[in-house]
A and B are shown apart, each in its own frame.
Chain A
Amino acid sequence: MHLSLESLPWILLAGAATGLVGAMLGTGGGVFLVPGLVLLLDMPVHAAIATSIVTVIATSSAVASANVERGTANMRLGMTLEVATSLGAVCGALTAAWLPARVLEGGFAFILLPTAYLLARGRSEKAAAEAESVAEQHLSDDELGPLGARYVDPASGQAVAYRVERLWGGLMISFLAGNLSGLLGIGGGIFKVPALHLVCGVPMRAAAATSNFMIGVTAAASAFLYYGRGDVRPATTAAAVLGVLIGSVAGTYTNRYVGASALQKLFAALLLAVSLQMFYRVLRG
């Protein structure tokens, strides 16, 4: 697919829509971008995955720089889990090179199903705030341990403290999420955030910020492999990256005015439809 003045607006639009939806739903947006590029713009799946993985780096860098400054991203926990996600991502990207396009498309269609379920089941802002208040504990500095942290919740102004439980569980899930990221070009946040919250006991807001902090490194671990193989198409990817950045800024602004719960259900239905469309494409051959 050669970038021209005719195709540029469509790729920018696909990127912007991904950034917008990603920022509103708190995901990297790769689950929307890859099928969008494959189904709507007829891009080969390997190139679509490579484009998506580079846009994930852009989203993560933009969002993480703000979250780190606010103190909601737990850098020590994020770095510890990045050992597993990076290893998983390198394995995933190396595997992707050997897999035929149809297998990757089938894998993507399959992974959209649990993603749609998790999205439909997602938490509202109110539920997240309630989770934060539960996490508010009177922990001493020693009780927090080396991976625990404190932060002030930006929405409620409440101080939150937490310690990290079951790190091995977090490492195993991070490896799998990294593997999916390298294999399918997604950030994997939709799996990591609930895992960090439910397995490691990290409050939702900190889990989302830490996951976002991590996905840039995870994506970089596989991006170089895709780039070296020539799967990253510079002009198309640049347009998608710029679109994603514009969409992320717009999404952060829009987020304040649109209810998250209805959106999550709407996009879950959309993902289900996209998944079926991709399955149909794989079976049709």
Chain B
Amino acid sequence: MAQYERGAHNITTAELRHWVHYSLLSGLVASSLLLVAGLALVLMRDEPRPAGPPAALLDTVRGVLAGQGIAMLDLGLLALMITPVLRVAVLAVGWSLAGWRRFAAIALTVLALLGASIFLGVG
């Protein structure tokens, strides 16, 4: 267990916890801001989204830049859904840098599964 407290690159478990904490918090704050702004615009303009699958990511970003509420909601939801993926990526990098290869490999496996889900869903 002691070997997991400080890794090869002098990264401690406490530092990794900070990274994870801030990755989750930043995703949550970014998505909440987009969702609040998007909801306000959608309600003010009574802007419905056409039924069916969402627009491509590039079109969504263009919509956000054009001030479309529904595009902000889509991007906010995507930001929220990507937050746990970011957390797994942070741990994969952190554990790799710390030299804890077994857990870095496990994190990369989870990342691959999430990548497959993203590809099947919105790829």
New A-B contacts (13) at CB < 8 Å, excluding given A57-B81, A89-B117, A217-B114: A68-B20, A76-B103, A93-B117, A217-B88, A219-B84, A220-B85, A224-B118, A227-B78, A230-B53, A230-B54, A234-B38, A234-B70, A237-B77
Q: Are B24 and A61 in contact (CB under 8 A)?
A: yes
A residues with a Cβ closer than 8 A to B are 2-5, 8, 54, 57-58, 60-62, 64-66, 68-69, 71, 75-76, 79-80, 82-83, 86-87, 89-90, 93-94, 141-142, 144-146, 148-150, 216-217, 219-230, 232-235, 237-239, 241-242, 245
Q: B73 — which chain A residues lie within 8 A by C-beta? A: 234-235, 237-238
- Bound CA–CA A220/B27 (angstroms): 13
Provide 27 A-B residue pairs closer than 8 Å at the C-beta atoms, listed in order of the A residue: A54-B80, A54-B81, A57-B81, A61-B24, A61-B25, A64-B87, A68-B20, A69-B17, A79-B106, A79-B107, A146-B4, A146-B102, A216-B84, A217-B87, A217-B110, A217-B114, A224-B114, A225-B117, A227-B121, A228-B120, A232-B77, A234-B74, A235-B39, A237-B73, A237-B77, A241-B77, A242-B32
* Chain B, Cβ-Cβ closest to A65: B24
Q: Are B122 and A220 in contact (CB under 8 A)?
A: no
* Chain B, Cβ-Cβ closest to A163: B1
Q: Are B21 and A61 in contact (CB under 8 A)?
A: no
Please tell me if B10 contacts chain A, counting CB pairs below 8 Å: no
- Which of B14, B42, B102, B121 counts the most chain A CB atoms within 10 A? B121
Q: Are A235 and B20 in contact (CB under 8 A)?
A: no
Please tell me if B11 contacts chain A, counting CB pairs below 8 Å: no
- Bound CA–CA A229/B14 (angstroms): 39
CB of A154, distance to nearest CB on chain B (Å): 15
Q: Are B113 and A87 in contact (CB under 8 A)?
A: yes
Which of B16, B25, B28, B76 meets A75, CB within 8 Å? B16
Known A68-B20, A148-B1, A221-B117; contact A3-B88, beta-carbon cutoff 8 A: no
- Bound CA–CA A70/B49 (angstroms): 41
- Bound CA–CA A113/B81 (angstroms): 29
- Bound CA–CA A3/B123 (angstroms): 27
Please tell me if B51 contacts chain A, counting CB pairs below 8 Å: yes
- Bound CA–CA A224/B120 (angstroms): 8
B residues with a Cβ closer than 8 A to A are 1-2, 4, 14, 16-18, 20-21, 24-25, 27-28, 31-32, 35-36, 38-39, 42-43, 46, 48-49, 51-54, 70, 73-74, 76-78, 80-85, 87-88, 91, 102-103, 106-107, 109-110, 113-114, 116-118, 120-123
CB of A42, distance to nearest CB on chain B (Å): 17
- Bound CA–CA A112/B52 (angstroms): 30
Q: B18 — which chain A residues lie within 8 A by C-beta? A: 69
Q: Are A220 and B114 in contact (CB under 8 A)?
A: yes
- Which of A68, A141, A237 counts the most chain B CB atoms within 10 A? A68
CB of A158, distance to nearest CB on chain B (Å): 19
- Bound CA–CA A258/B98 (angstroms): 43
Known A65-B25, A68-B20, A224-B121; contact A58-B53, beta-carbon cutoff 8 A: no
CB of B86, distance to nearest CB on chain A (Å): 10
Q: A232 — which chain B residues lie within 8 A by C-beta? A: 54, 77
* Chain B, Cβ-Cβ closest to A55: B80
Q: B2 — which chain A residues lie within 8 A by C-beta? A: 141
